[in-house]
Amino acid sequence: MKKLIQALAAVLIVSFALLYIVSGLNSSQGYTSGNTLTIFNWGDYIDADLVKKFEQETGIKVIYETFDSNEAMMTKIEQGGTAYDIAVPSEYAIEKMKEEDLLLPVDHSKIPNLKYIDQRFMDLPFDPGNEYSIPYFWGTVGILYNTDILGDKKITSWNDLWDPELKNQILLIDGAREVMGMGLNSLHYSLNDKNKDHLTEAKEKLDGLTPNIKAIVGDEIRMLMENDEAGIGVVWSGTAQELMWEKDNLEYVVPEEGSNLWFDNMVIPKTAKNPEAAHQFMNFILDPENAAQNTEYVGYSTPNKEALKYMDEETTTDERFYPDEELTARLEVYENLGKKMLAYYNELYLEFKMHKK
């Protein structure tokens, strides 16, 4: 009995001592509660030098964490284990987070650099008046193909992928909406179609693609395409851009039937401890020079009109990554389908994945 109490006491003392040391270490490095900014972003989605620059300019310490899907990010914010000051969800996730009252409004007066954002990317249906979110990057979903492997074959549309000659050549990104959207688009339906007959039709069409599919993977797709592992990858535009900077034998195309247009915006979650610093960071990122530097690192398309001037002209005039209004008109933004419909999409997607060759 006595021993047990002694042991318990020892454990408690050690724990408190450790806590004390941790807080001591944190404050010695400047990590005090009023002086930190916790950012929650997609993996590999910012130039780390910019974070350092921000820390130097403002004296605010940045804690940086990453996620790999909107859903995982939302689950973590809802649970509230860590208080994030900035998160970077995609448009349909912003809509959902707004509905669930997870966001704080953004004070535009604290972000003077907002004026540099192209009006095309402001006041979009998922967040009217940009009350809760500030544009970070945008892009498309398209087809990345390897000219060494495919030879003279030209890929211009989703339907080209069904070509029997492409047996075992296609890598897909593991996302229900991306893959189902591809099926829907190839039949000229909307990406946000809620008609169950259309969805079943799209799923059956996708089943017919299985002989051509080599694998359905996550972020590894980048590495696999880089190693010439497959002739075709269905990817987000930024992945394509980044790879094309490194390799000359890759081409990217936004399919002519239409595709997904997406936006990742910065938001301030309700649990934020330092909204002041969050605004400062947003303003910092929107600074044209910083935005240009970030874009050249990340590879996605920047909504910042002024930043384009600081960038390579070859990049900014590239129709595939900065499509004109005519092409953008054919692209669709994901709408929040509602839980039930999303579950239905996922069910069909799961059935498609189980379809044997």
Partner 1 sequence: MRTNSRNFYLIPYVLWIALFVVTPLLLVLYYSFFDIEGHFTLENYRKFFTPVYLKMTLSSFWYAFLITLFSLLIAYPTAYLLTKTKHKQLWLLLIILPSWINLLLKAYAFLGIFGTYGAANSFLEALGIGGRQILFTDFSFIFVSVYIFLPFMILPIFNSLDELNPTLLDASNDLGGSSWVTFKRVIFPLTLDGVKAGCQIVFIPALSLFMLTRLIAGNRVITLGTAIEQHFLVTQDWGMGSTIAVFLIIAMVFIMVLTGRRKRGIL
Q: Does 79 bind partner 1 (CB under 8 A)?
A: no
Binding residue positions for spermidine: 92
Question: To the nearest whole angstrom, how small is the minimum distance from the Cβ of residue 34 to partner 1?
Answer: 34
Instruction: Pick between residue 53 and residue 353 the one whose CB is nearest to partner 1.
Output: 353
By DSSP bridging, strand 86-87 and strand 36-42 are parallel
Q: Where are the alpha helices (DSSP H) in 100-195?
A: 147-150, 176-186
Task: Read off the DSSP letter of residue 121.
Answer: G
Q: Does 350 bind partner 1 (CB under 8 A)?
A: yes
Residue identified by tokens 């987000």 is 236
Question: 125: which 2 tokens?
Answer: 């249906």
Using the rule CB under 8 A, give the single segment among 33-41, 44-52, 211-219, 321-329 that binds partner 1: 211-219
Residues 6+ apart with CB under 8 A from 164: 211, 212
Residue 174 sits at φ, ψ, to 5 deg, of -80, 80
Number of residues that bind partner 1 (CB under 8 A): 32
Q: Does 200 bind partner 1 (CB under 8 A)?
A: no
Using CA atoms of 94, 95, 100, 105 in order, give the dihedral in degrees to the nearest 10: 60
Instruction: Pick between residue 168 and residue 195 the one whose CB is nearest to partner 1.
Output: 168
Of these, 69, 190, 315, 336, which contacts partner 1 (CB under 8 A)? 69
Q: Does 329 bind partner 1 (CB under 8 A)?
A: no
| Helix and strand element counts for the chain (H, E) | 14, 10
Of these, 99, 123, 228, 319, which contacts partner 1 (CB under 8 A)? 228
Radius of gyration of the chain (CA): 23
Of these, 220, 289, 312, 319, which contacts partner 1 (CB under 8 A)? 220
Q: Does 347 bind partner 1 (CB under 8 A)?
A: yes
Question: To the nearest whole angstrom, how small is the minimum distance from the Cβ of residue 90 to partner 1?
Answer: 14
Question: 165: which 2 tokens?
Answer: 């000659």
Q: Does 131 bind partner 1 (CB under 8 A)?
A: no
Instruction: Pick between residue 111 and residue 172 the one whose CB is nearest to partner 1.
Output: 172
Taking Cα atoms as reference points, which of 53, 78, 54 lies closest to residue 279? 54
Q: Does 100 bind partner 1 (CB under 8 A)?
A: no
Exposure string of 60-74, with b = 16+ CB inside 10 Å and e = fewer, is: bbbeeeebeebeebb
Q: Restricting to residues 167-196, which ones interact with partner 1 according to CB under 8 A? A: 168, 171, 174, 176
Question: 4: which 2 tokens?
Answer: 């047990």
Q: Does 215 bind partner 1 (CB under 8 A)?
A: yes
Question: To the nearest whole angstrom, how small is the minimum distance from the Cβ of residue 230 to partner 1?
Answer: 8
Q: Does 125 bind partner 1 (CB under 8 A)?
A: no
Instruction: Pick between residue 88 and residue 117 the one whose CB is nearest to partner 1.
Output: 88
Surface-to-core class of residue 162, CB atoms within 10 Å of its CB (0-12 exposed, 13-18 middle, 19+ buried): middle
Q: Does 22 bind partner 1 (CB under 8 A)?
A: no
Q: Does 207 bind partner 1 (CB under 8 A)?
A: no
Q: Does 80 bind partner 1 (CB under 8 A)?
A: no
Residues 6+ apart with CB under 8 A from 314: none
Q: Please, are residues 305 and 116 in contact by the beta-carbon 8 Å criterion?
A: yes
Write the CA distances from 247 to 25, 196, 240, 310, 317, integer angstroms: 44, 41, 10, 23, 19
Question: To the nearest whole angstrom, how small is the minimum distance from the Cβ of residue 303 to partner 1?
Answer: 27
Q: Does 214 bind partner 1 (CB under 8 A)?
A: yes
Of these, 122, 224, 311, 333, which contacts partner 1 (CB under 8 A)? 224
Sites of contact with partner 1 (CB under 8 A): 1, 4, 69, 71-72, 75, 168, 171, 174, 176, 214-218, 220, 223-224, 227-229, 339-340, 342-343, 346-347, 350-351, 353-354, 357
